[in-house]
Amino acid sequence: MCEAEASSSEATAPGVSDEIFGGDKFATTGLNELLDHLLGGGTRVLADAGLSRFCPRRLSAIQSGAEAQALECLHGLQGMAHVLGVALGHPQAELPVTVLTDVVWHFHGQLHAIERWRELATNAAGLLNNRRVAGDIASRYATWARSVGEWPEVSH
């Protein structure tokens, strides 16, 4: 069994959402967990080290895509905030507490998604702009990944 199968992630993303919700350990989003596993190591591998194996063209595409996703999440939050403001401005149509709770948790999840997409874009840009550092990280990453069974061994 690989190390990723043996443990689960309970980390929270730092930032605005921690300030709002006190940084509870259940705030980690599915997006965060998915990206961590796709990049090969969950929260144990810092700064999306799995990105280091990609060429500049792919890093640039990842950076652009992550920035676009963060902006899309932000636009969604802005739209939800507008609708919520309109709904709350009409006291005769009082929203049930369950609806308000769902909206708050959706905002919370989207804030985490924005943070994670921005972090991914920043890390891709950093590796794109520092190719020597990216090479060093890739080498260490490959060694680590082999040691935990996440990198296939090459048979000659």
Does 2 score more than 90 pLDDT? no
pLDDT tier for residue 41 given thresholds of 50, 70 and 90: low
The token pair at 148 is: 């935990």
In angstroms, how far is CA 119 from the centroid of its own chain? 7
Does 151 score more than 50 pLDDT? yes
The residue type found at 48 is: D
Q: pLDDT value at position 132?
A: 93
Q: Does 69 reside within a domain? A: yes
Does 42 score more than 60 pLDDT? no
Q: Does 79 reside within a domain? A: yes
Q: Does 153 reside within a domain? A: no
SS (HEC) of 17-70: HHHHHCCCHHHCCHHHHHHHHHCCCHHHCHHHHHHHHCCHHHHHHHHHHHHHHH
Give pLDDT tens digits for 74-125: 999 999 999 888 888 887 778 888 888 888 888 988 999 999 999 999 999 9
Q: Does 74 reside within a domain? A: yes
The count of structural domains within the chain is 1
Q: Among residues of the chain, what percentage have pLDDT more than 90? A: 35
- Enclosing domain of residue 89: 26-147
Which conformational region is residue 60 in: left (phi greater than 0), alpha (psi within -120 to 50 degrees), or beta? alpha
Sign of the dihedral defined by the CA atoms of residues 118, 120, 121, 127, in that order:
positive
pLDDT, mean over the chain: 78
The residue type found at 113 is: A
Q: Does 80 reside within a domain? A: yes
Q: Does 21 reside within a domain? A: no
Q: How far apart are CA 32 and CA 116, in angstroms?
A: 6
Sign of the dihedral defined by the CA atoms of residues 99, 19, 14, 126, in that order:
positive
pLDDT tier for residue 48 given thresholds of 50, 70 and 90: confident
pLDDT, greater one: 36 or 80: 80
Q: pLDDT value at position 87?
A: 84
- Residue 125, burial from CB neighbour count under 10 angstroms (0-12, 13-18, 19+): middle
Q: Does 87 reside within a domain? A: yes
SS (HEC) of 107-137: HHHHHHHHHHHHHHHHHHHHHHHCHHHHHHH
